[in-house]
């Protein structure tokens, strides 16, 4: 596959960012909650957890699971513009690793929700949210700072043609 140029990566990053913001106004959970309401819920969980930090362990054993959604939202708020503006190029490998872990975390939500609620309560807003993260993950993966495993390195002593 031919490498993507900077202009194409920037467009994909901005498309991911636009889709992220669109996901905030779409119904995301049980037909009642839009993405912004879900983001507000997990942010309030973070605020309450921080306020009660001395009184650990937390009341809700699932709290850490919800708190990690804040990291996913924060990353999607800042990573696309930093990438497009060139302030995050090359993307540090640690950002790519964290982004990969958060992508898997968000992807686990439909399974977690199904087993927790007993029914599939996920709506289109969630899928738009997750797709925006997948797009941004792809952009970071194709950034020259992340090594491409598809390309073979020339053997030692081999001359280029």
Boundaries of every domain in the chain: 6-142
pLDDT confidence of residue 70:
85
Hey, which bits of the chain come out as E strands?
27-29, 33-34
Token duo for residue 36: 């912004």
Alpha-carbon span 148 to 52, nearest angstrom: 44
Percentage of the chain with pLDDT > 90? 16
Surface-to-core class of residue 140, CB atoms within 10 Å of its CB (0-12 exposed, 13-18 middle, 19+ buried): buried
The pLDDT tens digits of the residues spanning 123-137 come to: 888 888 899 999 999
Among 3-7, 84-88, 115-119, whose mean pLDDT is lowest?
Answer: 115-119
The pLDDT tens digits of the residues spanning 39-61 come to: 888 888 788 777 776 666 655 66
């Amino acid at each position: 596959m031919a490498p993507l140029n900077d202009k194409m990566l920037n467009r994909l990053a901005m498309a991911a960012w636009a889709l992220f913001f669109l996901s905030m106004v779409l119904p995301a959970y049980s037909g009642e909650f839009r993405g912004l309401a879900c983001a507000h819920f997990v942010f309030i969980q973070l605020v309450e957890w921080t306020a009660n930090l001395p009184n650990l362990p937390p009341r809700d054993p699932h709290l850490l699971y919800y708190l990690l959604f804040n990291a996913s939202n924060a990353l999607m708020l800042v990573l696309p513009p930093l990438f497009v503006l060139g302030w995050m190029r090359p993307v540090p490998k640690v950002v790519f690793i964290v982004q990969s872990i958060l992508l898997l975390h968000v992807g686990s939500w439909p399974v977690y929700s199904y087993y927790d609620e007993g029914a599939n309560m996920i709506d289109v807003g969630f899928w738009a949210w997750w797709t925006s993260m997948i797009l941004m993950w792809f952009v970071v993966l194709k950034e020259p700072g992340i090594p491409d495993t598809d390309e073979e390195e020339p053997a030692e002593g081999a001359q280029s043609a």
